[in-house]
Amino acid sequence: MAWVIDIHTHMWDYGWLPEPHKMNMAIRAAKRRRPPVDPMTIRPRVGNGFMDPSGNLNVKILDRLGMDMGVIQVVDWAIGYGVEADNTIDEINAGTAQAVRNHPDRLMWFCGIDPRRPGAAEKFERWVKEDGAKGFKLYPPMGYYPWDDCVKPIIEKAIELDVPILSHTQAGVSWCEPIHWGQVCRQYPDLKVILGHAGVESPFFSTYGWEQAVIVAARHENVYLDPTEWHLWGALKDVPELIRRIHVMKTNVGAEKVVNGTDNPLGRDGADNGDGEWMFIWRNLPTIGRWFGYTFTQEDVDLMLGENAARLLKLPPKEQARQAAAGA
Ligand SMILES: [Zn+2]
């Protein structure tokens, strides 16, 4: 029995997002309306259906997708926006830790703090040692490169604690293009890095960010690829290209270095937003791959859908965890 783990989920509450972020969400939603509407009419409703500081929504989505566990990633937006959220970053991390305590057999978490905040590395250590964080979420689009001096204490702490960093990576925003991890990993070969979104987050047809991610992960032993959220950016409309990319990752990086996730909650009240089809494709790669001339084994699927994440996060084998939970 193999683990099925969502390495990349989120959890939100109204006080966790700085005002400009909520306004951006309203502007994006307003533009999608036909005819477009005034964003101010949408702003009061921003976040409805997505806010859940209890973690219950995350568990509901895991159940819908038949997944065992999800890993909540904390994002610190405030310095990038120049405005603090209503809640402090300490409160946001503490709230996430509490949700994980509510659901210890379903949720895990990566703490997150802008590395430019004073004492960031010390807080990282405390969240791991005292609150059970399994890793660190880095969000370079807020205005720093992975190789900037401000990130070094976080990197060194991650190595010392032997936990991974999951970094948001994407094409088109210089700070978070995956190629920047190449020089970091050369300097810190023991650092475990998960390249979030595997360099995509632009229309799916573009490949350069993703190719950078593949190159960095192929070169450096401790770099993993996380193709989270591709299902929202066009991957489901170009399944042959998706299958080709998964096969390129498998053959050049290795099935043992691909992890999977959804970036949920993305649908209102946890509704399916394409993630059901996304998981269907990954689960059925041996069959669907064959239609397009690519070979995938059940072992590849098991590794990519959860066993790699379990190894990285030091979980016991699933059988053992189930027995322990039943006996407790
Ligand atoms: Zn994310």
Structure confidence by residue, pLDDT tens digits, 17-43: 888 888 888 888 888 888 888 988 888
Query: Mind listing the pLDDT tens digit for each residue in 88-132?
Result: 999 999 999 999 999 999 999 999 999 999 999 999 999 999 999
Q: Give per-residue pLDDT as tens, 197-235.
A: 999 977 888 999 999 999 999 999 999 999 999 999 999
Q: How far is the CA of 293 from the centre of ligand 1 (A)?
A: 32
User: pLDDT digit string (tens) for 78-96?
Assistant: 999 999 999 999 999 999 9
For 20-34, 134-148, 283-297, which range has the lowest pLDDT when averaged over its residues? 20-34
Q: What is the C-alpha separation between 249 and 178, in angstroms, rounded?
A: 15
**What pLDDT shows up at residue 66?**
97
Distance of alpha carbon 87 from alpha carbon 225, whole angstroms: 32
Section 47-59 average pLDDT: 91
User: What's the gap in Å between 288 CA and the centre of ligand 1?
Assistant: 27
Which domains are delineated in the chain?
Answer: 5-13+55-327 (3.20.20.140)
323 C-alpha to center of ligand 1: Å? 32
- For residue 44, what pLDDT is reported? 84
Structure confidence at residue 45 as a pLDDT band (50, 70, 90) = confident
Output the CA 8–ligand 1 centroid distance in Å: 6
- Work out the mean pLDDT of the chain and round it to a whole number: 95
Ligand 1 centroid from CA 308, angstroms: 19
Query: What is the predicted pLDDT for the residue at 328?
Result: 64
In this prediction the pTM is 0.95
Going from the Cα of 290 to the center of ligand 1, the distance in angstroms, rounded, reads: 31
Mean pLDDT, residues 287-312: 98
Quick one: residue 12, left, alpha or beta (phi over 0 = left, psi -120 to 50 = alpha)? beta
Say which residue the tokens 């190719």 belong to: 211
Given pLDDT bands bounded at 50, 70 and 90, which one contains residue 152?
very high
Task: Assess contact for 203 and 216: CB atoms under 8 A.
Answer: no
- Cα of 9 vs centre of ligand 1, distance in Å, is 6
Give the three-class secondary structure for 166.
strand
Please give the distance, rounded to the nearest whole angstrom, from the Cα atom of residue 11 to the centre of ligand 1. 10
Interval between CA 165 and ligand 1 midpoint (Å): 13
Q: Are 182 and 146 in contact (CB under 8 A)?
A: no
Nearest-angstrom CA–CA distance, 8 and 73: 6
CA of 140 from ligand 1 middle (Å) equals 12
Percent of the chain with pLDDT over 70: 100
* CA 297–ligand 1 middle distance (angstroms): 28
